[in-house]
Structure 1
Amino acid sequence: MVSLLARLPRSGRDGGEAARPLPLVWTALAAAGAVSAAGLAVLALAVGVVSTLDPTGGSGVGGSVLLAGRLWLLAQGTDLTVASGPIALAPLLLTIGIAWGLAGAGRVVVRASAPSGARAAIGAAGVLAGAHVVLTAVLAFVVDGPGAEVGLPRALLGSALLSAAAAGWGVGRESGLLDAALDRLPTQTGPVLRGVLAGLLTALALCLAVVAVALAADADGYAAVSGRLGGAGAGALGLLGLCVLLLPNAAGAVLGLAAGPGFSVGSGTLVSVHGVTLGPVPALPLFAALPDTQAVPLLAFASQAVPVLAGLVAGRTLARRFSARDGGSVVAGLGGVLAGVLLGVVCGVLVWAAGGSLGDGALAHVGAPPVATGVAIAAQAGIAAALAAAVTRWRASA
């Protein structure tokens, strides 16, 4: 829907087609509405398909829409208070999808309305983000109920942060404001940021590989939990979909394990290279990846290489982007240190976003400690990135 706004022919005063821009405010409002409508429709359709496979009849159309709306809110950082306590764990894959949609909407708004100047472009991002927050507030009032009370303050704050970042990114990229801002910074900024991105993607890919290996090693446990919760097609498919949405959260937990502090699933379960403590965990098939005994698994020790490998990739990527005017191996090494520190900061933010709570008491905290994880990754990745950047740059200039 949103992309059609940018492709509609518009007639000029002479009756022919002209590239007259659409009104900025109305375009931004339409784009925000399209993102929420399309996202909720797809999510409700997916929930509805799973519900139709339930031999008992499922929850119906209304129940599917209600569940989709609550998942949409959880993905933006809100909390739901249910009988077992507050649930505040964002399915990060859905969060990424919402951010992608808002960033795309921001680019469409710029193409369709052609804002003149930086102030107009920033205003377009503000209108898009504000409209998304208002729609989120409306959705929170609609899905709020006695069985699942929505925390409105967290819903507003989470949607505001997410929409501001995503819409600002999309508008900045399409309008050229982001490139103009980067041009004012030192020339080494671009290579450093590319190195951080490469290191982050490497770390996430390795963490997901760790999760996949752990699940494959206990496939019987996954099948047993899935069978107990829902042996029918609806139960198995729904649990699989939920596990897929939580895969980035699992990667964030593995980041804590790889950095050293480990991660916890409530107060009774802690997994780190220093020891394993097992306690009751929610009956979610993804938790089959947890160790079966108190012994530290070999996979946990192998995961310790993740920060170093991510730092090596970041440093190599940084140095390969360096030109003669950016400096030699010493400058590249210093840039590697900065890239490693920034990688630690980004990983700390990711771990913070991936954690949360699944109820009161023993399940009040799930995930890895963000500060300790970020500091550990920054130290390890910074050293590795500095060495890789210096050696790569020295070999390129030799």
Structure 2
Amino acid sequence: MVSLLARLPRRGGGDGPGPLSPVWLAVAAAVAVSVTGLVGLGLAVVVVSTLDPSGGLTVGGSTALAGRLWLLAQGGEIDADSGPIVLAPLLLTLLVAWGLSRAGRGVVRLAGTTTVREVARDTGTIGGVHVVLALLLAVVLDGPGAGVGFLRTTAGAAVLALAAVGWGTARESGVLDALLDRLPGPVRPVLRGVLAGLLTAVALCTAVVAVAVAADSAGYAALSRSLGGAGAGALGLLLLALLLLPNAAIAVLGLAAGPGFLVGSGTLVSVHGVTLGSVPALPLLAALPDTQAVPLIAFVSQAVPAVAGLVAGATVGRWFTARDGGSVVAGLAGIGAGVLLGVASGALAFVAGGSLGDGALAEVGAPAVATGIAVAAQSGIAAAVAATITRWRALG
């Protein structure tokens, strides 16, 4: 869509037809992301509802549900009768961020953006239009029984858009590389290490969720059948579970680090003990322990922060050069990578958690501050050792 608009003539003077201005390219890209995302999500919800033999939602209801999921994915707030719902389905959040990033990169390529000022212009335009569209959608969906928290919804859409688009435009234009080149030498290896460690931690925690669900597959199937809807209902529940899978993985990171995670005020899962209470009828929650005994997989998961720290430290040591320093400096950089890994983990825990009302489910997810501190302490030590040894071996 953006490339097609780029070939359209400009309105008004000039020597003849010319490409669209970068501002209009950015506007078109932002509109394309929202329209494509909402249409795709809406079609998915409509198809699942249509296949439901019990009738399911109407087309209008399915469309409204898709719109509310779109807002929640961007950090929005839905004020239901039971209280505020603030829980972003992180897989959908990642898809929205990917679309915005690709839009920014596409505009940069078509407009030939190279300077910081041009990057700021493209980022601000795409981000601004995206926020306006999200706000318009919120106004349309706002109503009794399912109101929209406009302040949080606007702020969430703005933060996501600026972060995703800014990353895409800065990377594609070369501004990001130019900025990193001005920073001290060890910064690039540290950032690479943090990214590698974070991906490792999330991947391992996702594996823990998969093992826990597989261990109680009968419970998953029974809960899915009890909710009805035959094949269409099962498909809808599976899609919802996939959207929330990253949230579950980040909750497991809180468990692995030590603080554990909450599913409302009545359910706490940690390596120190399990407290069970009533939880939503979501098949993904079949992964929760069936008794108050701490499951073996919870004890095994305690290795995740250390393993993530080892990967981060090894990455730091591997990318160190003679200009950056020797094994001692690499070890110090490893500590920094571990601390930043803790900060990133705490930020993820904050984003992945939320609330499902103002009652017993007012708090869902891992505690962000405690998770970040615990991961930083464990990963920092492991990363320092791994970075020192890796750099020492590289020096021969």
TM-score normalised according to structure 2 size = 0.96
1: CA distance between counterparts of 2:52 and 2:271?
41
Q: Counterpart of 1:358? A: 356
Q: Counterpart of 2:242? A: 244
Query: What is the CA RMSD across the aligned residues, in angstroms?
Result: 1.6
1:325-356 deviation digits (Å, cap 9, x = unpaired): 21111111011001000100001000000000
Q: Counterpart of 2:102? A: 104
Q: Counterpart of 1:260? A: 258
1:339 to 337, 340, 344: 337
Q: Counterpart of 1:173? A: 171
Please list, as runs of the form range in 1=range in 2, the aligned pairs for 1:231-380 lying within 5 A after superposition.
231-380=229-378
C-alpha contact 1:86 1:359 (8 A) present in aligned 2: yes
C-alpha contact 2:73 2:89 (8 A) present in aligned 1: yes
1:114 to 108, 112, 115: 112
1:6-56 deviation digits (Å, cap 9, x = unpaired): 6x4889x998x9xx6531211111111000000001101111110121113
Aligned residues: 393
Q: Counterpart of 2:29? A: 31
Q: Alpha carbons of 1:21 and 1:179: their partners in 2 closer, same or farther (altered >3 Å)?
A: farther
C-alpha contact 1:21 1:112 (8 A) present in aligned 2: no
Q: Alpha carbons of 1:120 and 1:356: their partners in 2 closer, same or farther (altered >3 Å)?
A: same
C-alpha contact 1:5 1:112 (8 A) present in aligned 2: no
Q: Counterpart of 2:2? A: 2
Shift of residue 84, structure 1, vs aligned partner: 2.1
| Pair 1:154-2:152 in alignment | yes
TM-score normalised according to structure 1 size = 0.96
C-alpha contact 2:53 2:229 (8 A) present in aligned 1: no
1:341-392 deviation digits (Å, cap 9, x = unpaired): 0100001000000000011221100011100000010010010001001001
Q: Counterpart of 1:43? A: 41
SS of match in other structure, 1:324 = coil
Shift of residue 229, structure 1, vs aligned partner: 1.0
Shift of residue 303, structure 1, vs aligned partner: 0.4
2: CA distance between counterparts of 1:49 and 1:2?
28
**Given residue 241 of structure 1, which amino acid in structure 2 is its aligned partner?**
L
**Given residue 332 of structure 2, which amino acid in structure 1 is its aligned partner?**
L
Moved more, 114-123 or 308-317: 114-123
Please list, as runs of the form range in 1=range in 2, the aligned pairs for 1:10-89 lying within 5 A after superposition.
22-89=20-87
Where does structure 2 lack aligned partners over 5 or more consecutive residues?
none
2: CA distance between counterparts of 1:305 and 1:350?
19
2: CA distance between counterparts of 1:116 and 1:176?
7
Moved more, 120-129 or 383-392: 120-129
C-alpha contact 1:343 1:377 (8 A) present in aligned 2: yes
Shift of residue 61, structure 1, vs aligned partner: 2.3
2: CA distance between counterparts of 1:63 and 1:56?
15
C-alpha contact 2:349 2:367 (8 A) present in aligned 1: yes
Shift of residue 175, structure 1, vs aligned partner: 1.2
C-alpha contact 1:88 1:358 (8 A) present in aligned 2: yes
SS of match in other structure, 1:363 = coil
Moved more, 216-225 or 58-67: 58-67
1: CA distance between counterparts of 2:386 and 2:364?
35
**Given residue 2 of structure 2, which amino acid in structure 1 is its aligned partner?**
V
Shift of residue 138, structure 1, vs aligned partner: 0.2
Moved more, 225-234 or 96-105: 225-234
Shift of residue 230, structure 1, vs aligned partner: 2.1
Q: Counterpart of 1:187? A: 185
Shift of residue 146, structure 1, vs aligned partner: 1.2
Shift of residue 4, structure 1, vs aligned partner: 4.1
Shift of residue 147, structure 1, vs aligned partner: 2.6
1:105-127 deviation digits (Å, cap 9, x = unpaired): 11111112223532122111011
